[in-house]
Amino acid sequence: MKIDLTQSHDVIGVYKSIDYSDIHEKYHDAGTEYCFNVLDKKIVSGYLMKLACFRHLQDLKRQGNDDFPYHYSVREAEKLLKFSSIAPNVDTGEPTKLMDWQEFTFCQMFGWRNKEGGKRFSRVIDSVARGQGKTYKMAIIMCYSYFIESIGLSNQDYLVASINFKQTNKLFGYIKSMMRKIIEIEPFKSLANEVGLSIQSDQIVMKNNNNVLRAISHESGQYDSFHFTTAIFDEIGEIKTRDKISKIISGQVKVPNRQFIQISTSYPDPSVPFHEDQKMIQQAMEQDFNRDADSYLGLIWAQDSLGETFQPETWAKSNPLLYLDSQKEVLMQGLQDKRDSDMLSGNVADFQNKNLNLWLQEATNSFLKLGDIEKSIISEFNRKGRQVYMGFDYSMFSDNTAIAFVYPHDNKWHIEQHSFIPWQKAGSIEAKEKQDGINYRELAKQGFCTITSHPQGMINDDQVYNWILNYVEDNQLEAVFFGYDTFGATNVTKQMDINTSFPLTPIRQRTGELKDPTKFLQKIFVEGSATRLDDKIMEKALINAQIVEDKIGIQVDKASATYKIDVVDAIIDALYQAMYHFEDFGIANDKSKQVDRMTQQEVLDWFNDPESGLLGGD
């Protein structure tokens, strides 16, 4: 049975339709028991954790399949759980009994193995609300990996990292304190002497076999030449680009039993790589049949909606420590106080972001909500032979040039874009990608943009002009409207005016002209009547757009020069007329404009068509 939950999201319904009695009978470990408790609704949990638990049970059934070279080792999972029972909580000096959700985390990370016997999951996302004991959990994993998994190995690299020196040192300091406690007891006391363990200010070294645990901040970025067996990166949700992170991952490629663990709560900027990876792993878990992300683990404790801000009974979804009797009352009171004080100060977004682990835009003047942007995605769209409204935003300096396509159909508006990427001001396409936080070269392969062919990195007008003409011709589109900035008339629009039948319309970029299509764009996303492809350039532009209001109405603007909203400007130009498509007075329904949109051949064909009524009777 092919299971795809991307539309229905009905994890529980599908779970109930499958017989797991064989799994129930065979597996009694803490990780599997947690999954059954979540899916049997004995534990309050969010959609993403239901997905993770469903994935675990499905993978247990998948063992032995030719396309699934992994197996679940209860023994490997229990080794880590046993180690955790002696690992002291630095705050109390005594081990803390793990909760079921923490045991599940360890079982997932270390229980699943590949055919060589190494860990299955080479990359891990571990995300939970603030104050849920993630430092203790990660310290146990690093101590276990460094002490136990390194036995018999030499010249192994291990990493603890965070956004800056202060954050990195906080986690590293906790690990050092835990290690000092552990090596006071046997057999770790003897092991420390045998390997020549030396706990230093910025690294921990086994002198006799050169296994080194390093603390390196993202700020310093010195990850080159290292091949980390285990790398833990804390607060990775604040990192804007993949540039330095990719060095960690590429360095691990040939390392057996490697694991890169990314830990963070949600952050105000939803366009960061950590959130993109969360969406990717969510889709992978929803598409049960897809094996592409089988080595990527996603464990995300989060609320399901902003509405749950006022439903404390659901907060255990993102704050699983609420199930700990000794902390429940204090934690719940603290969360309610934080919510109420943030509401009074007009900053409830911080509570939703950090304490409920929800992604959202922090700015109150954001043009669209993240949820409305994400729900508009569809997998494909057949544009062949359709009527299209186009909007054109020409590049100024470091901005991209964008062409927007709006396809009205079935009382909906499907929106696509293509951007032309200059790099002259940035100095290179690599620098441009880092500056904008967008992998343009990869998106060019997907057809969402074109890197300029100009040798100095400026916009090539001929390239833009030819691309637009070829696109319209290849897709047999009927150009109903082509809107562009009155003051952005360029060689592109001049060539179109001379050589095409496109109905070109200059639009003054002022509030009086743009307020209606701007408001309309917002409306169709909120109401769910806008659709788009999974296009990262468009997504980032929609996220970056902010509302600017004056006495006349609203316009969109950006908060920073490197925040790209060219695509939004182009869409608004296209909607200048597309918003009226289904109205009787819309230009698509204006018979007097019909001939204006035709090529010379189309005019001739129409003239010779008996049904046109132009030839008269015999």
Distances, alpha carbon 333 to alpha carbons 182, 339, 342, 355, in Å: 34, 10, 14, 13
- pLDDT tops 60 at residue 360: yes
Which pLDDT does position 119 carry in this prediction?
A: 97
Cα distance between residue 101 and residue 128, in whole Å: 11
Cα distance between residue 383 and residue 385, in whole Å: 6
Least confident of 44-53, 153-162, 536-545, 567-576: 536-545
Percent of the chain clearing pLDDT 70 (strictly above): 94
List the end-to-end C-alpha distance of the chain, in Å, as a whole number: 64
Which pLDDT does position 614 carry in this prediction?
A: 58
Tokens at residue 364, please?
Answer: 């109150």
pLDDT tens string 286-333: 999 999 899 999 999 999 999 999 999 999 999 999 999 998 999 999
Nearest residue to 432 via CA among 475, 397, 481, 460: 397
Which pLDDT does position 544 carry in this prediction?
A: 85
Q: How confident is the model at residue 546 (pLDDT cuts 50, 70, 90)?
A: confident
Q: What mean pLDDT is reported for the chain?
A: 91
Q: How confident is the model at residue 269 (pLDDT cuts 50, 70, 90)?
A: confident
Mean per-residue pLDDT, 87-114: 94
Q: Which residues pair with 298 in a beta bridge?
A: 125
Which pLDDT does position 605 carry in this prediction?
A: 72
Cα distance between residue 7 and residue 12, in whole Å: 14
Q: Are 63 and 112 in contact (CB under 8 A)?
A: no
Among 278-282, 557-561, 608-612, the range with the most confident prediction by mean pLDDT is 278-282
Which pLDDT does position 512 carry in this prediction?
A: 83
Least confident of 389-403, 414-428, 448-462, 544-558: 544-558
Cα distance between residue 590 and residue 268, in whole Å: 46
Q: Which domains does the chain have, with CATH numbers?
A: 11-300 (3.40.50.300), 306-362 (no CATH), 371-592 (3.30.420.240)
Give me the amino acid identity at 444.
Answer: A
- Helix H, strand E, coil C: the string for 317-338 is HCCHHHHCHHHHHHHHHHHHHH
pLDDT tens string 387-429: 999 999 998 666 899 999 999 999 999 999 999 999 998 889 9
Full-model pTM: 0.78
Give just the sign of the alpha carbon dihedral 55, 61, 63, 65: negative
- pLDDT tops 70 at residue 562: no
Instruction: Report the largest interatomic distance among the alpha carbons of the chain, rounded to a whole angstrom.
Output: 110
Helices (H), 317-450: 325-344, 348-350, 370-374, 429-436, 440-445
Burial (Cβ within 10 Å: 0-12, 13-18, ≥19) of residue 237: buried
Mean per-residue pLDDT, 438-454: 94
Degrees (nearest 5) of the Cα angle 481, 407, 585?
Answer: 55
Cα distance between residue 74 and residue 590, in whole Å: 70
Nearest residue to 225 via CA among 192, 194, 252, 195: 252
H-helix or E-strand spanning residue 59: helix 47-62
Give me the amino acid identity at 63.
Answer: Q
Helices (H), 458-565: 461-474, 491-499, 511-527, 536-544
pLDDT tens string 473-490: 999 999 999 999 887 768
Which pLDDT does position 491 carry in this prediction?
A: 87
Instruction: Name the 3-class secondary structure at 86.
Output: coil
- pLDDT tops 60 at residue 114: yes
Tokens at residue 403, please?
Answer: 């062409």
Which pLDDT does position 209 carry in this prediction?
A: 95
Cα distance between residue 176 and residue 156, in whole Å: 18
Give just the sign of the alpha carbon dihedral 244, 111, 288, 11: negative
Tokens at residue 150, please?
Answer: 């390194």
Q: How confident is the model at residue 271 (pLDDT cuts 50, 70, 90)?
A: confident
pLDDT tens string 72-86: 999 999 999 999 999
- pLDDT tops 70 at residue 498: yes
Which pLDDT does position 551 carry in this prediction?
A: 76
Q: Are 367 and 545 in contact (CB under 8 A)?
A: yes
Degrees (nearest 5) of the Cα angle 53, 59, 60?
Answer: 95
How many CB atoms neighbour CB 74 within 10 A?
17
Cα distance between residue 464 and residue 106, in whole Å: 52
What is the β-pairing status of strands 112-114 and 70-72?
A: antiparallel
**How big is the chain by its Cα radius of gyration, in Å?**
28
Q: Return the higher-pLDDT residue of 138 and 596.
A: 138
pLDDT tens string 228-245: 999 999 999 999 888 899
Mean per-residue pLDDT, 126-135: 95
